[in-house]
Each structure stands twice: as C-alpha cells, then as structure tokens.
C-alpha cells in the first residue's frame, strides 16, 4: 500500500515537472522572476515544491537556453532574476497550444 502511494507520488511528480516548467516560462515571460517568488507562486497553485527541487529546474532551463539569468543586488544580497529567451518564448507558445488542446480533451 505504502509502495503504491509512493509510486503514484513519483508519477505525479514527473508529470508536474512539465507543468512547473510551463508555469515558469509563463511568468518569466511576463516579468523577471526569482526563485523564492516562483516558489510562493507555485504554492498558491497547489504545488508544494522545495527550493531544492526548483533551483535545479531553473538552472537546467537556463543551460537549455530557455531562460537567461541576471544578478541584481537587493538589500545587499545578490538575487538571481530569470527572464525567457526567444527560444523560451517559442517553447511557451507551443506548450500553451498543447496544454490548451489537452485540457479541452481531458477536462470533465
């Protein structure tokens, strides 16, 4: 039973990783985002993920050329802001179409 729940959790996490990335692209396209802000935003949408999960996602999206990072000093600390690149915007447009199509089909 416990094993079953764990597996279900693992499968959902894998699916949510894609949603989370689309969500990141959506907001980074609207304005520069930083990790903590994104964590709060995701929490509001019911994704309780940790910084330890989110930061590697941001880093890999950056190295894939979807996001560009800019360091800014805020209250004496360096804060990393991310915005979408042209490639990131193109992926967002495509993902939005796909998400919309899927939603039309699977909604109850």
Residue 33 DSSP code: B
Looking at the Cβ atoms of 47 and 55, the one nearer to Zn ion is 47
Listed ranges 33-41, 48-56, 85-93, 97-105: which one lies at the site for Zn ion (CB under 5 A): 33-41
**SS3 of 42-106:** HHHCCCCCCHHHHHHHHHHHHHCCCEEEEEEEECCEEEEEEEECHHHHHHHHHHHHHHHHHHHHH
Looking at the Cβ atoms of 6 and 91, the one nearer to Zn ion is 91
Listed ranges 40-48, 56-64, 68-76, 82-90: which one lies at the site for Zn ion (CB under 5 A): 40-48
Enter the tokens of residue 19.
């949603």
Distance between CA atoms of residues 81 and 62, nearest Å: 11
- For residue 5, the minimal CB distance to Zn ion (Å) is 28
Looking at the Cβ atoms of 41 and 62, the one nearer to Zn ion is 41
- For residue 45, the minimal CB distance to Zn ion (Å) is 6
Chain position whose Cβ is nearest to Zn ion: 41
Binding site for Zn ion (CB under 5 A): 41
């Amino acid at each position: 039973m416990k094993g079953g729940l764990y597996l279900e959790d693992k499968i959902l996490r894998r699916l949510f990783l894609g949603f989370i990335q689309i969500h990141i692209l959506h907001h980074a396209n609207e304005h520069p985002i930083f990790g903590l802000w994104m964590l709060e935003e995701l929490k509001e949408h019911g994704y309780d993920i940790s910084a330890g999960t989110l930061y590697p996602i941001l880093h890999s999206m950056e190295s894939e050329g979807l996001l560009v990072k800019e360091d800014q000093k805020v209250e004496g600390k360096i804060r990393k802001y991310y915005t979408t690149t042209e490639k990131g915007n193109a992926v967002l447009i495509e993902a939005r179409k796909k998400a919309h199509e899927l939603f039309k089909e699977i909604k109850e």
